[in-house]
Amino acid sequence: MRKPFVAGNWKMNTNGHTSVDLADRLASGSVESAGHTVTVAVFPPFVYLQAVGKALNGSSITIGAQDVYFEQDGAFTGEISVSMLKDIGCNYCLCGHSERRHVIGEKDELINKKVTAAINGGLLPILCVGELLEERKASQTNEVVTRQVKEGLAGLNDEKLAAVTIAYEPVWAIGTGLTATPQQAQEVHDFIRKLIGQMYNERLAQEIRILYGGSAKPGNAADLMSQEDVDGLLVGGASLKADDFLAIIQAAV
């Protein structure tokens, strides 16, 4: 049985006050029982990670970073290393979020270096994959996702794969209010799981958690997570509202 996972990506939102306020509301929300049955993590902006981590201390919610750099230290102005994130209590990091791929221009090779460095340094990466609208319309979804999964996981052995979560996030559904139907999500999740089975083995394919992301909200969370291969949600906009995020966590319990 795969433990459900609900992740909240705050993107470049909140400030010093609202980030802690949101964390306080989540910590005091009724998610304690959920902690045993659902993994819950929030991904605030780098500069608020420590304060949010402190506010969540003692709750079942953990923190992750929205990105990470693959080098250990040195002259990489503006970048943040795995050990820095570990140092302040981070457990997870997103790698290859669609906004980093399509706004910042990250390529699969760089994303693979980040995934690898995260695992080697003890951070649990969430590898984000997903097709553009024109790619879906051209029936290229499986092809795009195959490339992103294969290149994102290149060089990882069985043991290292066990540290990875995959998030399928169709780009056309992120922040647009358009959600993949539960069936559309299930189809791609099933495809990714089978791909992992071919690349590794059936046991690892059954163990790896595959989250859906793209305009998830309280009203569609349960339906999406009822699908056999949808193991949880990566939530953007709705994770900025404590009540909505708590409702999504409850839907995963």
Residue with tokens 């559309």: 184
Residue nearer to ligand PEP on the CB measure, 131 or 200: 131
Residue nearer to ligand PEP on the CB measure, 6 or 216: 216
Cβ-proximal residue to ligand PEP, closest one: 236
Binding-site ranges for ligand PEP (CB under 6 A):
9, 11, 169, 174-175, 213-216, 234-238
CA distance 33 to 249: 10
User: Minimum distance from CB of 142 to ligand PEP (Å)?
Assistant: 20
User: Minimum distance from CB of 171 to ligand PEP (Å)?
Assistant: 10
CA distance 14 to 18: 5
Residue nearer to ligand PEP on the CB measure, 205 or 221: 221
User: Minimum distance from CB of 242 to ligand PEP (Å)?
Assistant: 15
CA distance 249 to 35: 9
Query: Under a CB-based contact definition with an 8 Å cutoff, are residues 169 and 128 in contact?
Result: yes
Active site residues: 97, 169
User: Minimum distance from CB of 128 to ligand PEP (Å)?
Assistant: 7
Q: CB burial class (10 A; 0-12, 13-18, 19+) of residue 47?
A: exposed
Query: Under a CB-based contact definition with an 8 Å cutoff, are residues 150 and 119 in contact?
Result: no
